[in-house]
Amino acid sequence: MSSTFSAPKGTFDLLSPESEAYLAIREALAAPLRRAGYRYIETPTFEQTALFERGVGESTDVVSKEMYSFTTRGGDNLTLKPEGTAGVVRAVIQHRLHTGQLPVKLWYSGTYYRYERPQAGRYRHFSQVGAEAIGVDDPALDAEVIALGVTAYRDLGLSQVRLLLNSLGDKTCRPIYRAALVKFLAKLDLDAETRRRADINPLRVLDDKRPEVAKQVADAPVIVDSLCDECRAHYDAVRGFLADLGVSWEETPRLVRGLDYYTRTTFEFVHDGLGAQSAVGGGGRYDGLSEDIGGPELPGIGWALGVDRTMLAMKAEGIGSPATGACDVFGVPLGTAAKRRLVTVISELRERGISADLAYGDRGLKGAMKAADRSGAKLAIVLGDRDLEAGSAQLKDLASGEQAAVSLDELITTVEGRLR
């Protein structure tokens, strides 16, 4: 048996500088939410399995095929969260947040787990930044949530994200539509697996990408044609607010999502540079979710943006990483006394908010300068015992190679000035 381990299939380690880019992307995706009054929430990595069965829906692939479920030593049935919405709504109900100011606006950032077939952009362990606005059914709120997603991508410099929009109706009109769709699907020539899916979750068949299925469902009835008056008015109002906010979208009558809780407004952000896994984010309204998991009647709307796929989209558009993690200054001590001095200089720079690192390990000049070059720093401070006696240090611009002596008394202020 091999004695070395590697990360499990479908997972990966985040290493610098990509790991820093991830942090920066998470921050950037959340920034518009913070500016719009969303508060941070963190829920546990695992929840009762039944929460997802009832919230996300037993007929979904996520629940029926992809959950990491386990029984604890104490006999509890738990599942690593495959998505964030069910846990957030559970927390809102548990802590009665809905009895305060409405809507309850929350944002989160975390890792989620789905036992999917791994491929580019699809992992078993992935990251999302999410937003939920709970307790108010107002089309203007749907538009706010969607527009904040648009802003997040725009602020990262992405210009090729498209917004796909649909309405899935509510408990009045969806069952009527569903019955019409089931009737339509019954007449088609479908394989046994697809037929089974048509019985359990007929809307998902519309999403089937295989040509033999896609061709047959091309004339299937679509939900927007069957919306009840309230859902139609709601959808019209959402589109009106989106237009006011300058958001453009593509009507996508066949857009169905992989989670069962959606009602009315549903949407996906897609990027064409990602291949098959084109959805960089998605969300919608979930007016029945709270009741499905035993809570009060509480409407809600939200989204989750995939951090991994956002990163891939940025690569596809040639957008450089927003952060590298490198320090600005790198100290190169040559000699014992010089090292004692440089250790305090580096510490002082850090105190003043400048990122700084030091060549440890008492390497010679060549080795230490190599470390400085590799560090990605802008400036190197080279200090030898003889420089110290002369009261100066060498300040080297690592990009241009230019080097000049700077008095030790002025070293900190000179470095600050050079980095400004």
Residues forming contacts to ligand HAM in the complex (CB under 6 A) are: 83-85, 114, 116, 121-123, 126, 128, 130, 132, 258-259, 279-284, 286, 302-304, 306, 308-309
Query: Residue 82 or residue 333: which is nearer to ligand HAM going by CB?
Result: 82
User: What is the distance between the alpha carbons of residues 53 and 25, in angstroms, rounded to a whole number?
Assistant: 31
CA 188 to chain CA centroid, Å, is 38
**Running DSSP on this structure, what letter comes out for residue 326?**
-
N- to C-terminal Cα separation, the chain: 55
CB of 67 to ligand HAM, least distance (A): 12
For the four alpha carbons of 231, 234, 240 and 243, in that order, the dihedral sign comes to negative
Q: What share of the chain is helix, strand, coil (3-state, %, to 5)?
A: 40, 20, 35
Residue partners of 94: CB distance under 8 A and separation at least 6 = none
Q: Least distance (Å) from ligand HAM to the CB of residue 82?
A: 8
For ligand HAM, which is the closer residue by CB, 105 or 378?
Answer: 105
Please check whether residue 310 is in contact with residue 156, taking contact to mean a CB–CB distance below 8 angstroms.
yes
Of 114 and 339, CB closest to ligand HAM: 114
Question: Which of 317, 318, 330, 336 is closest to 386 using CA atoms?
Answer: 336
Between residues 103 and 284, which has the closer beta carbon with respect to ligand HAM?
A: 284
Residue type present at position 31 = A
Nearer to ligand HAM among residue 102 and residue 412 (C-beta): 102
Q: How far is the CB of 286 from ligand HAM (least distance, A)?
A: 6
Question: Is the Cβ of residue 203 or residue 358 nearer to ligand HAM in the bound state?
Answer: 203
Smallest distance, ligand HAM to C-beta of residue 417, A: 43
Provide the CB-side half-sphere exposure for 285 (13 A, CA): 28
User: Which residues have a Cβ under 8 Å from the Cβ of 283 and sit 6 or more positions away?
Assistant: 131, 145, 146, 149, 266, 267, 301, 302, 303, 304
CB 79 within 8 A of CB 54: no
Pair 329, 346: CB distance under 8 Å: yes
* Residue number, nearest CB to ligand HAM: 306
Shortest CB 190 distance to ligand HAM, Å: 25
Instruction: CB nearer to ligand HAM: give 38 or 126.
Output: 126
> Measured from the CB of residue 92, what is the shortest distance to ligand HAM in angstroms?
12
In whole angstroms, give the CA distance from residue 24 to residue 9: 26
Instruction: Kindly tell me which of 22 and 330 has the beta carbon lying closer to ligand HAM.
Output: 22
Tell the smallest beta-carbon distance from residue 192 to ligand HAM (Å).
26
Nearer to ligand HAM by Cβ, of 257 and 378: the residue is 257
Least distance to ligand HAM, CB of residue 36, Å:
15
- As a whole number of angstroms, the distance between CA 130 and CA 164 comes to 18
Least Å distance, CB 32 to ligand HAM, is 15
Q: Which of 387, 403, 380, 377 is nearest to 341 (CA)?
A: 387
CB-count exposure of residue 159 (10 Å: 0-12, 13-18, 19+): exposed
| Nearer to ligand HAM among residue 282 and residue 331 (C-beta) | 282
Minimal distance, residue 325 CB to ligand HAM, in Å:
23
